[in-house]
Amino acid sequence: MDEVEKQLSAAVHDDDGFIDEAASHLLAAGGKRFRPLVVLLAAEFGDDPGADDVVPSAVVIELTHLATLYHDDVMDEAALRRGAVSANARWDNSIAILTGDYLFAVASRVVAGLGTDAVRIQAETFQRLVHGQIHETVGPRTGDDPLQHYLGVVADKTGSLVATAARFGAMMSGADPGVVSTLTEFGERIGAAFQLADDVIDIASESHDSGKTPGTDLREGVPTLPTLLVQQAARSEDARLLDLLSRPLSDDAEVDEALSLLRTNPALEQARSMVRREADIARSLLDQLAAGPARTALLGVCDRVVTRLG
């Protein structure tokens, strides 16, 4: 991970001081580096975990993730990211968008050195990321199930990149094709589970470590797993909550009221159960892999998803 950090810093560096500052802004803010960690752990299942292309592939994954954050913050009009002022708030939307584009370009430059298969996989992943963002922006169409639409967005926007992280790690270290396939599916499942867990945490926790302003999704009227489950149930006793969830909330008192009602609603426990089920599926996939420290670590990742729920 130390080497990943070094190569990330080197990759985003630009001799133009302003570009260097903007591109390094979110990198310097920290983050869990969850996706590069998945790359490195997946690489342990190959013949050569220390292969030269493993760390650069982790860098590609994290650069791609960082780029999406710049764009997401513009679309969400977010003021904070990772506890720091977002790029769009510090500068403006145009700078944030262009910086995201710059990071995508840097990721493309790095992946070009990893071979044509890696370039193709990265392109397919990028396509899914944008596909998910478009679907999230447009919203479900007439006749679509809003919950299934949302789960599809989560799969594309989050699951796809974590799946590629696991795939890259296994590929670059020379793992058998069956192992690569298993780890790719694991990444897809655990990536979605992490995002859905964040949905629960953003409501259930009085304070959390996402770095986002509490209640952001409620303020923007953005659907999440618990709110969609409330709307799907449409219970008469939830009339007030359903009213609050039907629109963006600009009033702090209404945000607090919505959070209070959600925390006592059965939909929150239903959401927890869905996250646990997804983590259990990811855990079962690991049974197909060789026992050892890497599998134990990935099992720990599954456990972490569940313990984060509270």
| DSSP string for 181-246 | HHHHHHHHHHHHHHHHHHHHHHHH-SS-SS-SPTTHHHHHT---HHHHHHHHH--GGGHHHHHHHT
Which tokens in the block code for residue 164? 């590629």
Residue 96 shares a structural domain with residue 182: no
Domain limits for position 210: 176-309
| Residues 96 and 226: beta-carbon distance below 8 Å | no
- Tell me which H or E stretch contains 80: strand 80-81
Residue 12 shares a structural domain with residue 92: yes
Residue 3 shares a structural domain with residue 117: yes
Q: Classify residue 196: in a domain, yes or no.
A: yes
For residue 77, the model assigns a pLDDT of 60
The DSSP secondary-structure symbol of 157 reads I
Tell me the Ramachandran region of residue 292: left when phi exceeds 0, alpha when psi lies from -120 to 50, beta otherwise: left
Residue 28 shares a structural domain with residue 115: yes
| Residues 63 and 99: beta-carbon distance below 8 Å | no
Rounded to a whole number, what is the largest CA-CA distance in the chain?
61
Domain boundary, last residue among 91, 122, 153: 122
Model pTM?
Answer: 0.90
Q: Classify residue 305: in a domain, yes or no.
A: yes
Q: Classify residue 254: in a domain, yes or no.
A: yes
Spatial distance between the Cα atoms of 95 and 70, rounded to a whole number of angstroms? 9
Alpha helices in the chain (DSSP H): 2-12, 17-28, 34-43, 54-76, 87-90, 93-111, 116-138, 146-154, 160-172, 177-204, 216-220, 225-233, 239-245, 252-263, 266-285, 293-307
For residue 81, the model assigns a pLDDT of 60
Q: Classify residue 145: in a domain, yes or no.
A: no
Domain boundary, last residue among 122, 138, 166: 122
For residue 276, the model assigns a pLDDT of 95
Domain boundary, last residue among 102, 122, 142: 122
Q: Classify residue 170: in a domain, yes or no.
A: no
Residue 200, domain CATH: 1.10.600.10
Q: Classify residue 147: in a domain, yes or no.
A: no
Q: Classify residue 149: in a domain, yes or no.
A: no
Q: Which residues does 30 contact at the CB level (< 8 Å), separation at least 6?
A: 82, 83
Q: How many domains does the chain have?
A: 2
Residue 232 shares a structural domain with residue 296: yes
Which tokens in the block code for residue 3? 């080497």
For residue 25, the model assigns a pLDDT of 73
For residue 108, the model assigns a pLDDT of 95
Mean pLDDT for the chain? Answer: 89
Which tokens in the block code for residue 305? 């998803």
Q: Classify residue 138: in a domain, yes or no.
A: no
> How remote is the C-alpha of 291 from its chain's centroid?
27
Low-confidence ranges of the chain (pLDDT < 70): 30, 73, 75-91, 207-215, 310
